A and B are shown apart, each in its own frame.
Chain A
Amino acid sequence: MNSRSRWATFMIVVLSLCLVLSGCEFKDIDKRFFITAIGIDKPEDSGKKYRVTLKIAIPKGQLQMGQEDYMSLSLDSDSISDAIQKLKARVDKEFDFGHTRVLVIGKSLAEEDYRDPLDWFTRQRFIQRISWCVIGKPTAEKLLDSKQKSERMPANALILAFGGQGVESQYIVSQYLFQLFRKSNDPGENPVVPIASPETSKNSMYYTIDSVGVLDDTHLALVLTPDETRYYNVLSGIVNKSDYNIKMPNNTFAIHADQVKVKRKISDGENPTITVTLNFDGLVEEGEHGLQVTPQILEQIKQAAEKKLTTEMTTLLNKLQAKQVDPIGFGSLYRATHWQDMEVEVKTWEQLYKRAQFKVNVTINLRATGTIQ
């Protein structure tokens, strides 16, 4: 019928229009280079602001461990976007940042000012919010220009190290990009970023990620030791399992603690106190000199452990207070429990944090002694 065939012609015209209009975005997957990691450094020699390193994956046939190839390109420039555009001129395929999972800021840049790279990372639409943020030691470039033997994919070792997908370690702190941005804007909490460094020993390269840097409003303020990192992880409630060496007068034991419950309380007033209560369940992991762990010895271990943990955690908290950084988020807790206006709360907290006393109560319940007594 007439209207039917008119309708059909209309559809055909429209469809052909569509065919003409399209094709802008059409780019086959094998004409793209996948960037798996970006690193931003402060260049030492040239006078430019940033050195941008891109880790480009070159896929090869069947994915096998350690056989992947990568390309690492660096360029100095005054703006990050400019550097990337210039880098594009050096390759044959289009950059695709859809799979960028690791964002590295060089340590020297972080010590100066980390806000600009963070701003760029967050502003870019193609970087996933669930990318991992890392500080690279000594530089981001060196961290990225490395390949670990068991990697199936460039930068996979770094990706798997975070988030508990691969290894679950008490010394590794994982920070997503969105978490970093969230905490950096929050006046009551300071972000922490893990520090990773490439190390080689006996022909194999590996990444050491056992410390964190605490960032204050503008720059890297404090680097925690691995032990302190572990305490930070426990205090923040991130990590459930931790292991400790307990030195006693005659022996050293190692205990494994899990099922940790952390309670934090802030009391203000004339003498503001911040109380942190921790409850562990633990078991003895390692003994010395073949000593049999009797219940009395167990009790002694418990006392020693509690004493050690209390002291060391209080030291850590005081250290953080001295630097005026609050990565554990007491400020957030304060604001969440008080009903005043935002500006008032922020100011009050600042004063309070300077003067607060920390009290840590640790209770360990040693349940067992392992397979043998």
Chain B
Amino acid sequence: MKENRFLFYTILINMVSNIIVFVPHILFNGLFDGALMSILISVVIGMTLLVLGTQSLAQFPGESLPEVMERYLPRWFRVIFLSYISSFWYVAGVIVLLAFSTIMTRYLSPETGQFTILFFLSLTVLLVVPLKSSRLLNGLEILFVINIPLIAIILLKSVLEKNTDWEDVYDVCTHLVHLPTLTMIAAASYIFTGYTNLVIFNKETAIKLKKRHYLILGGLGFATLMTSFFIPIGRLGEFSVNRYTFPWIPTSDSISMQYFVIERMMIPFLLVYLMVALVQAVMHWHIGYHLILSLFRQQRKWQNYAVLAAFTLGVGVLQKILDNEYILFEFATYWLIARLFSEIGLVALLIYLAKRRRRHEQQI
């Protein structure tokens, strides 16, 4: 369990950050048309992928994916695949940063332009990304221990608060039997994708997951989906919830802490999620960074700077392209769908590699 815990942290932080990546918003669009069914299906799909992925990677303790691929696969395949996959991680980080800078501009400091906030956030992420993976994981552990209790408190308070309309929640449950859609399945299965960070972090951890760990993870994922989905419905009303542009922010704003220094729950909520978003962006870019660096034959100092500079430029460019909230939302939706398929591809690759290794070992 000692080595497993870093895996747990990445998975849990990923689960928690689903709010930022528009997952609830996508689900609310199809509230009466199969959202709940999509959630249930995505739990099955997500957990399956998680189990297959982690079991395959467990065959290669202490090695990251590029190293494993170098051993078993031809170079051209490795270059193509890794370039493709690393772009996903990079775009994930960019979406988190863009979405969150939009949220910040809207709700916390409207007069500082979005560009300035994006600059600060990107700068922070860029400063942290080049650290060694083990150090990053240590920092992640600390931030996790700080943030997860706060998030748990927020969720608990939002459930127990009065003026939640539970009948709306029951009503949504009565619309369970509808056809799910691909978009919603892709969105909901984002919750379970934290394990893919292992492609680089596997170097620092040695996974030994047992059945009870998987059960806990599945339960947590399901619980996260349930809370992300139902709490805004209960508080904001099933008919109003998809009219809000970022449903969770007004949800947190609707909670008042009467006996505390801070009355509006929205600001602590935003600050805690800012930390989560930054940590997510750091991890995504760290992995993308290392994946790209592994493509070069020799490791030189200038490559690090080049990759970081490319990341910065990419953010600037994407911010200009996706400057409209609607466009950003659509982009994120398509990205989530593409991500689902790429994840399936990644897991297939991992299974293949694990089989190769077993055959290799049997030969020896």
Contacts and interface: CB of A to CB of B under 8 A. Distances in A.
Interface of A: 14, 18, 21-22, 24-25, 125-126, 128-130, 163, 165, 176, 178-179, 181-183, 185-187, 329, 332-333, 335-339, 341-342
Interface of B: 32, 106-107, 109-113, 116, 119-120, 123, 163, 165, 167-168, 170-171, 174-175, 177, 235-240, 243, 250, 253-256, 258, 263-264, 266
B259 to A, nearest CB: 10
B249 to A, nearest CB: 9
Given A176-B163, A181-B240, A186-B239, A332 B256 contact: no
Contact of A129 (B170, B175, B254): B254
A332 B168 contact: yes
Contacts of A179: 163
A187 B120 contact: no
Given A181-B237, A333-B167, A335-B171, A130 B120 contact: no
Contact of A332 (B171, B250, B253): B171
Contacts of B258: 163, 165
A125 B165 CA distance: 23
Interface-centre pick from A126, A185, A338 (highest chain B CB count, 10 A):
A185
Contacts of B264: 128, 130
Contacts of A14: 123
28 contacts: A18-B120, A22-B116, A24-B111, A24-B113, A125-B107, A126-B110, A128-B253, A129-B254, A129-B266, A130-B253, A181-B236, A181-B240, A182-B168, A182-B236, A182-B239, A183-B237, A185-B239, A185-B240, A186-B168, A186-B237, A186-B240, A332-B167, A332-B168, A332-B171, A335-B167, A336-B167, A336-B171, A339-B175
Given A181-B237, A182-B235, A335-B171, 6 more contacts: A24-B116, A125-B110, A130-B254, A178-B253, A181-B240, A185-B243
A116 to B, nearest CB: 15
B299 to A, nearest CB: 16
Contacts of A125: 106-107, 110
Given A24-B111, A24-B113, A342-B32, A129 B250 contact: yes
B262 to A, nearest CB: 12
A339 B256 contact: no
Closest 8 CB pairs of A and B: A182-B237, A336-B170, A185-B239, A129-B253, A332-B167, A129-B254, A178-B254, A336-B171
Contacts of A187: 239
Interface-centre pick from A126, A130, A337, A338 (highest chain B CB count, 10 A):
A130
A183 B236 CA distance: 9
A25 B112 contact: yes
B170 A337 contact: yes
A181 B168 CA distance: 14
A339 to B, nearest CB: 5
A337 B174 contact: yes
B177 to A, nearest CB: 7
B177 A339 contact: yes
B258 to A, nearest CB: 6
Nearest to A339: B174
Contacts of B119: 21
A313 B119 CA distance: 61
A181 B253 CA distance: 14
Interface-centre pick from B107, B253, B258 (highest chain A CB count, 10 A):
B253
A176 B254 contact: yes
Nearest to A333: B167
Contacts of B32: 341-342
A268 B123 CA distance: 62
Interface-centre pick from B116, B237, B243, B256 (highest chain A CB count, 10 A):
B237
Nearest to A14: B123
Contact of A25 (B109, B168, B240, B250): B109
Nearest to B166: A336
B255 A130 contact: yes
Contacts of B163: 176, 179
B223 to A, nearest CB: 22
A178 B174 contact: no
Contacts of B168: 182, 186, 332, 336
A193 B28 CA distance: 27
A178 B170 contact: no
A338 B237 CA distance: 18
Contacts of B116: 21-22, 24
B239 A130 contact: no
A342 to B, nearest CB: 4
B115 to A, nearest CB: 9
B234 to A, nearest CB: 10
Contacts of A185: 237, 239-240, 243
A178 B236 contact: yes
A24 B163 CA distance: 38
A15 B29 CA distance: 43
A24 B167 contact: no
Interface-centre pick from B171, B177, B264 (highest chain A CB count, 10 A):
B171
Contacts of B266: 128-129
A128 B257 CA distance: 13
B31 to A, nearest CB: 9
Given A24-B112, A25-B111, A25-B112, A186 B120 contact: no
Contacts of A21: 116, 119
Contacts of B253: 128-130, 178
A35 to B, nearest CB: 15
Contacts of B250: 129, 178
Contacts of B113: 24
Given A178-B250, A179-B163, A335 B237 contact: no
Contacts of A186: 168, 237-240
Given A165-B258, A182-B236, A335 B165 contact: no
Nearest to A340: B174
A312 to B, nearest CB: 25
Contacts of A335: 167, 171, 174
Given A21-B116, A25-B109, A182-B236, A130 B170 contact: no
Contacts of A18: 120
A86 B114 CA distance: 26
Contacts of A181: 236-237, 240
A14 B111 CA distance: 21
Nearest to B176: A339
A180 to B, nearest CB: 10
